[in-house]
């Protein structure tokens, strides 16, 4: 590779010149012997110097040649490839040491057996040799990929490039080869191919709006059996026209802003005509040497349906179909924020005597009454505003761009509508409305104040005989309404020992065994008698009294659990309802910890039930719930489906179980719904690894439905009404017997 021929030619030329020069001198000086002798001496001296110079040059050249050869050998020996050169005329074989790393055999073994490289080819790849021989005969370079088997049993992929050399008569006189290890590349390709083919997601390469590649999941999503049937076809047949325009805009935006990737949603049209919601990610890539788009999509049709259900649950009342309090507040906020000077009115409506119907005829009848009431309110208000259900037998109405005359006309229309009896089967019911009215901007600048003042005015309507409407005015704050009286009385209820706790068992549906009890707060006032939690809990929430009351409940329940444990009930879990106001207290988690330590309560035996309204302050709630979870207690969502639930939030909270609200359990018995929402909640809960508890079970039909749909636990009057602590002990002891 490093020839010194040119240097030797120069040396020989110099020597010849010297010899010729010597002969010329001899001829010239022959006539004079003295000069002849002298010239002879001089010539010999010159010759000696020339020879010394030649030796020096030769030695230097040899060193340079050795140095160059050493460099070349170092390069050959350091390469991660095998080099192979076979001079067939001289049968001289050259192989660099890289072949040892590649094949696992010693270098000398290849010199001993020229065919060793063939003998180690994997049996399944021997057909490669036939193809190689055919191309070599044609004098063409050939590149082959095949597997070899190393002495240690490893199988490696080799890329073998061979270059044949033929003489003028067509004889193969030399063959050179370069061999690379392709194992990592091949295994990587196999891995990625496996990921793509086994992926449940839609994966496709698209160029010029046509499929260049699509995986099996992608073709199945579209409804085509084989991916090969889609290759080369336009994607336009499987995307709606509106989405095509949107995709063009997205791709142009990517190009303009030099975005590497983009994510968006679109609808794919199935071959049967169905439209499927897909979340798609797109990025540029080189595919087979040309620019294309890689599209990765996921079918989110069911997720979108679930989101719609959750949205429906979060913003609409399941029983009546009306917007709920959340939707009402959202709508009112929007009207206040975008107000251009129009007057608004908030009507707070409570049904008189509804509690009697609910208590005497049962919740099923009460629910039917509420559905009829919702319809009557909607018809009375018509297009003048928004009708929503606040909860229980309370409704909120927002009247837009109104006047006092319009407010009074609609209020009277509502009262007139309720003057007629409500018929349910053979029963006749009369309910009347008490309506409180607050006006914007006079009675409040925000939704909270407007609702609160309308609520206050509603109590005035009740105090004035019910079945009427009253406007809010500041003087109402000085009146002794029932709500105000209850607030005063509630502040003294704990110290006067008016509050008590009863317990409702939670049942494992498959075994009918009691696994837990829920602590329920009751208030028995010496003057007003038994006051429903539906009435006094909201007062406690508004005033902040729920914090000391909640602390008292937790201590009493923990004390009772300790007594049960001492009596032999060692595996009974107790659930305590926790208010959002309690969670908002900075030291709530510390309170729970102190209580657990004080009463030596096993954290696993304590369950804290929170309502979905924690979603209103998700950041703070998440922190507190994680602190509680670290204590080891169980956390459940109570009345699931009535509040702010969102799967995107719930999945990030340390929730153990969800309790299906009674209204959805009641739907199981209604032919119109057949428990569809309850089933959806159970399915979603299981998908998120929640334990499911159904509340308010009253009929065997509900139990059978819940068990069929894999709901694990339930509670309600079908199993047991709320009982005293002593009765709990008696019931569980009987179970053990």
Q: CATH number of the domain at 199-299, out of 3.90.920.10, 3.90.660.10, 3.40.50.300, 3.30.450.20?
A: 3.30.450.20
Q: Which residue has the higher pLDDT, 568 or 66?
A: 568
Cα distances (angstroms) measured from residue 735 to each of 393, 514, 731: 38, 8, 6
CA atoms within 13 A on the CB side of 701: 9
CA distance 77 to 525: 98
Beta bridge partners of 276: 268
Query: Above 70 in pLDDT, residue 477?
Result: no
Cα–Cα distance for residue pair 413/704, rounded to 1 Å: 44
* Cβ-contact 374, 386 below 8 angstroms: no
Residue 318, preceding peptide bond in cis (omega within 30° of 0): no
In this prediction, residue 174 carries a pLDDT of: 86
pLDDT at 723 over 70: yes
Which own/partner pairs from 89-95 qualify as long-range (CB within 8 Å, at least 24 positions apart)? 89/173, 89/174
Q: What distance in Å separates the CA atoms of residue 728 and residue 563, rounded to the nearest whole number? A: 12
Architecture of domain 82-186: 2-Layer Sandwich (3.30)
Averaged pLDDT, 369-396:
93
pLDDT for the residue 667:
85
Quick check: 455 pLDDT over 80? yes
Output b/e per residue, 493-509; b: 16+ Cβ within 10 A: beeeebbebbbbbbbeb
pLDDT of res. 696: 92
- Rounded CA-CA distance 145/158 in Å is 6
CA distances from 387 to 322, 346, 365, 407, 668 (A): 7, 10, 22, 14, 26
Helix/strand/coil (H, E, C) string of 495-507?
A: CCCCEEEEEEEEE
Cα 315 to the center of its chain, rounded Å? 23
The region, left, alpha or beta by phi > 0 then psi within -120 to 50, assigned to residue 343 is beta
The single-letter DSSP state of residue 527 is T
| C-alpha dihedral (168, 169, 173, 174), degrees to nearest 10 | 50
Mean pLDDT, range 116-125, rounded to an integer: 88
Confidence of residue 237 (pLDDT cuts 50, 70, 90): confident
Using an 8 Å Cβ cutoff, are 376 and 418 in contact?
yes
CA distance 605 to 586: 24
Q: Tell me, which fold does domain 305-479 have in CATH? A: Alpha-Beta Plaits (3.30.70)
Domains 82-186 and 199-299 agree in fold: yes
pLDDT over threshold 80, residue 198: no
Report whether 397 contacts 415 (CB < 8 A).
no
Secondary structure in 3-state letters for 571-626: CCEEEEEECHHHHCCCCHHHHHHHHHHHCCCCHHHEEEEEEHHHHHHHHHHHHHHH
Domain ranges of the chain: 5-78, 82-186, 199-299, 305-479, 494-736
- First vs last Cα of the chain: how many Å apart? 100
Under a CB-based contact definition with an 8 Å cutoff, are residues 96 and 82 in contact? yes
Q: What is the CA radius of gyration of the chain?
A: 46
Say which residues have a Cβ less than 8 Å from residue 591's Cβ, sequence separation at least 6: 551, 554, 585
Q: Among the ranges 111-115, 313-317, 324-328, 616-620, which has the highest mean pLDDT value?
A: 324-328
Rounded Cα–Cα distance for residues 429 and 601 (Å): 49
Q: Are 147 and 125 in contact (CB under 8 A)?
A: yes
In this prediction, residue 36 carries a pLDDT of 46
- C-beta of residue 296 within 8 angstroms of C-beta of residue 202: yes
Residue bearing the bigger pLDDT, 37 or 196: 196
Determine the Cα–Cα distance for residues 437 and 456; give it in Å rounded to an integer. Answer: 9
Read off the pLDDT band of 470 (50, 70, 90). Answer: very high
User: How many Å apart are CA 497 and CA 4, to the nearest integer?
Assistant: 116
Q: Residue 277 is inside which H or E element, if any?
A: strand 275-287
DSSP 8-state symbol, 479: S
The pLDDT of residue 80: 61
Q: Which CATH class is domain 494-736?
A: alpha beta
pLDDT at 4 over 50: no
Residue 609: name the closest of 720, 680, 693 by CA: 693
Under DSSP, is residue 523 helix (H, G, I), strand (E, B) or coil?
A: strand
What does the alpha-carbon distance between residue 366 and residue 130 come to, in Å, rounded to a whole number? Answer: 87
The confidence score (pLDDT) of residue 736 equals 64
pTM for this model (two decimals): 0.42
Mean pLDDT for the chain?
A: 83
Question: How would residue 671 be classed by pLDDT, with cut points 50, 70 and 90?
Answer: low
Task: Please choose, from the candidates 97, 111, 124, 119, the residue with its C-alpha nearest in 3D space to the C-alpha of residue 179.
Answer: 97
CB of 635 closer than 8 Å to CB of 628: yes
C-alpha 681/C-alpha 411 separation (Å) is 38
Dihedral in degrees, nearest 10, Cα atoms 701, 702, 705, 708: -100
Banded pLDDT at 59 (limits 50, 70, 90): low
Beta carbons of 574 and 606 less than 8 angstroms apart: yes
Report the share of the chain in percent with pLDDT over 70: 84
Selection from 555, 554, 611 nearest residue 584 by Cα: 611
Confidence of residue 92 (pLDDT cuts 50, 70, 90): confident
**Cα 682 from Cα 689, distance rounded (Å):** 10
Q: What's the rounded Cα separation, in Å, for the pair 453 and 440?
A: 11
Q: What is the pLDDT of residue 420?
A: 87
Query: Cα–Cα distance between 36 and 25 in angstroms, integer?
Result: 8
Task: Report DSSP letters for 134-169, one per residue.
Answer: HHHHTT--EEEEEEEE-TTS-EEEEEEEEEEEE-TT
Q: pLDDT-derived band of residue 5, with 50, 70 and 90 as boundaries?
A: very low
Rounded-to-integer distance, Cα 634 and Cα 518, Å: 13
Mean pLDDT in residue range 701-730: 93
- For 530, residues 6+ apart whose C-beta sits below 8 A from its C-beta are 522, 523, 524
* pLDDT tier at 60, thresholds 50, 70, 90: low
**448/393 Cα distance (integer angstroms):** 20
Out of 66-70, 195-199, 466-470, 650-654, least confident range:
66-70
Give the per-residue pLDDT at 643.
Answer: 47
pLDDT of res. 505: 95
d(CA 596, CA 555): 9
Q: Round to whole Å and give the CA distance between 505 and 693.
A: 12
Q: Is the pLDDT of residue 46 over 60?
A: no
């Amino acid at each position: 590779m490093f020839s010194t021929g040119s240097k030797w030619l120069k040396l020989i030329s110099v020597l010849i010149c010297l010899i010729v020069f010597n002969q010329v001198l001899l001829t010239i000086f022959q006539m004079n012997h003295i000069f002849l002798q002298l010239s002879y001496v001089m010539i010999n001296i010159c010759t000696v110097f020339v020879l010394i110079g030649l030796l020096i040059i030769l030695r230097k050249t040899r060193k340079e040649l050795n140095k160059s050869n050493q460099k070349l050998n170092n390069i050959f020996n350091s390469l991660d490839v095998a080099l192979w050169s076979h001079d067939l005329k001289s049968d001289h074989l050259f192989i660099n040491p890289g072949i040892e790393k590649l094949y696992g055999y010693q270098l000398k073994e290849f010199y001993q057996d020229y065919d060793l490289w063939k003998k180690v080819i994997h049996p399944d790849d021997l057909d490669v040799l036939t193809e190689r021989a055919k191309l070599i005969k044609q004098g063409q370079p050939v590149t082959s990929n095949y597997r070899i088997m190393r002495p240690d049993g490893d199988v490696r992929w080799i890329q073998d490039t061979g270059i044949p050399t033929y003489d003028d008569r067509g004889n193969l006189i030399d063959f050179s080869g370069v061999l690379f290890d392709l194992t990592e590349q091949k295994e990587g390709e196999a891995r990625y191919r496996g990921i793509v083919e086994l992926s449940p997601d839609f994966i496709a390469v698209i160029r010029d709006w046509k499929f260049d590649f699509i995986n099996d999941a992608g073709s199945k999503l579209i409804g085509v059996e084989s991916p090969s049937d889609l290759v080369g076809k336009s994607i336009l047949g499987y995307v709606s026209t509106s989405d095509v325009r949107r995709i063009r805009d997205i791709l142009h935006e990517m190009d303009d802003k030099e975005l590497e990737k983009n994510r968006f949603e679109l609808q794919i049209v199935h071959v049967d005509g169905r439209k499927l919601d897909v979340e798609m990610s797109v990025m540029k890539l080189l595919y087979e040497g040309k620019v294309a788009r890689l599209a990765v999509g996921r079918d989110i049709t069911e997720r979108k349906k679930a989101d719609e259900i959750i949205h429906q649950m979060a913003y609409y009342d399941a029983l009546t179909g009306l917007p709920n309090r959340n939707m009402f507040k959202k709508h009112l906020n929007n009207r206040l924020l975008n107000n251009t000077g129009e007057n608004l009115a908030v009507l707070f409506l409570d049904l008189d005597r509804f509690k009697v119907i609910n208590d005497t005829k049962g919740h099923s009848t009460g629910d039917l009454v509420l559905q009829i009431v919702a319809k009557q309110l909607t018809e009375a208000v018509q297009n003048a505003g928004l009708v929503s259900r606040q909860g229980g037998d309370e409704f909120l109405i927002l009247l837009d761009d109104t006047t006092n005359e319009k407010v009074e006309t609609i209020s009277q229309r509502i009262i007139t509508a309720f003057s007629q009896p409500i018929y349910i089967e053979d029963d006749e019911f009369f309910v009347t409305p008490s309506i409180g009215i607050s006006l914007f901007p006079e009675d409040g600048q925000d939704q909270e104040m407007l609702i609160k003042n309308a609520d206050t005015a509603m109590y005035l309507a009740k105090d004035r005989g019910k079945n009427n409407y009253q406007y809010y005015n500041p003087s109402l704050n000085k009146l002794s309404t029932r709500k105000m009286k209850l607030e005063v009385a509630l502040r003294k209820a704990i110290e006067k020992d008016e509050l008590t706790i009863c317990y409702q068992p939670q049942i494992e549906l498959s075994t009918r065994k009691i696994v837990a009890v829920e602590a329920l707060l009751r208030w028995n006032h010496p003057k007003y008698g038994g006051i429903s939690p539906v009435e006094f809990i909201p007062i406690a929430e508004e005033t902040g009294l729920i914090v000391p009351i909640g602390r008292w409940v937790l201590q009493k329940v923990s004390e009772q659990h300790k007594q049960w444990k001492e009596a032999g009930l060692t595996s009974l879990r107790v659930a305590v309802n926790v208010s959002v106001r309690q969670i908002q207290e900075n030291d709530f988690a510390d309170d729970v910890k102190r209580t657990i330590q004080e009463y030596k309560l096993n954290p696993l035996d304590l369950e804290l039930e929170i309502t979905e309204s924690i979603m209103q302050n998700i950041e703070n709630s998440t922190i507190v719930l994680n602190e509680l979870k670290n204590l080891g207690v169980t956390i459940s969502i109570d009345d699931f489906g009535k509040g702010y639930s969102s799967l995107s939030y719930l999945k990030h909270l340390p929730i153990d179980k969800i309790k299906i609200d009674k209204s959805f359990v009641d739907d199981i018995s209604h032919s119109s719904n057949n428990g569809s929402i309850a089933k959806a909640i159970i399915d979603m809960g299981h998908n998120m690894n929640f334990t499911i508890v159904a509340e308010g079970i009253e009929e065997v039909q509900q139990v059978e439905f819940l068990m069929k749909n894999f709901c694990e636990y339930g509670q309600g009057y079908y199993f047991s009404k709320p009982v005293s602590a002593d009765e709990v002990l008696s019931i569980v002891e009987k179970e053990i017997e």
